[in-house]
Amino acid sequence: MSELAGKVCLVTGGAGHIGRAICQVLLDEGAEVVAVGRRAPSEPITSNAASASFYAADIRDPNASQGLIEHIATQYGRLDILINNAGGGPPVVAADASAELTRKIVALNLIAPMVLSQQAYGLLMQSSDTASIINIASVSGARPSPGTAAYGAAKAGLLNLTKSLAMEWGPHIRVNALIVGLVHNDAGMSHYGGEEGFKRVAEMLPLKRMASPRDVANAVMLLCSTRASYISGANLEVDGGGEVPVFLHLASESSKAK
């Protein structure tokens, strides 16, 4: 029997590159998956003949996210796993960022997952096993984030929230986060300068490649697993070994140029 058979999982941002991969891994393990996003995906989210259901909602609106939880309660009668994956924000230097843009970025990356977790608390507490919340954070929240200051600050807050909720809601709910590093996907094509840019960045990572959405999804599955039953309040780095300091590359290039 698949490990998550009979479990109900909610994945925000489920139609995106990483969200879709997370949904597919959960489907492979027998879970009932509800994907959430502002717009329905162009193609159904499926894996091995199983399909995720889709619920359209802007989770920045607490009324919309409350409606989502009520839908799950009515449709499934339970919730076992919540994946707070929705996030992101455009690059903008801090001096030029409007107050409204800053508010929207923080709302999506910190306030929405916090409020949704609070709204899901009652259902998660009814799970027949220990329930699980996994927050998808970023290396931007664990290091300086020039050009995306609001995003980095929000993700830093999400990492702190993870540890706080783990303390408040144990032993019935485990709460963990992934500190996700650089991910190779179509969404980042222009940001990194195309495939050549991806290759150059990958060379600066210890594993010599950027993460795939599936790598992130596999880490989610690890934290969902009963093998992680004593892991809570953890901020697990999924970054291929970390970003090598740029000064080392600059020094190396300078040495070769002599």
Domain membership of residue 194 (yes or no) is: yes
Instruction: Supply the pLDDT for residue 188.
Output: 56
Domain membership of residue 57 (yes or no) is: yes
Instruction: Supply the pLDDT for residue 208.
Output: 81
Domain membership of residue 59 (yes or no) is: yes
Note if the pTM is more than 0.95.
Answer: no
Active-site annotation holds for 76:
no
Q: Which residue has the tokens 């329905």?
A: 40
Tell me the residue length of the chain: 258
Instruction: Supply the pLDDT for residue 175.
Output: 98
Pick from 185, 175, 160: which is nearest to 83 by CA? Answer: 175
Q: Which domain holds residue 12?
A: 8-257
Spot the catalytic one: 55, 76, 121, 151: 151
- The total domain count for the chain is 1
More confident residue, 181 or 199: 181
Domain membership of residue 73 (yes or no) is: yes
Residue 103: phi and psi, rounded to 5, are -60, -45
Domain membership of residue 1 (yes or no) is: no
* pLDDT tens profile 67-86: 999 999 999 999 999 999 99
Domain membership of residue 3 (yes or no) is: no
* pLDDT tens profile 211-254: 899 999 999 999 999 999 999 999 999 998 888 766 565 556 66
Domain membership of residue 125 (yes or no) is: yes
Average pLDDT rounded to a whole number, residues 134-160: 96
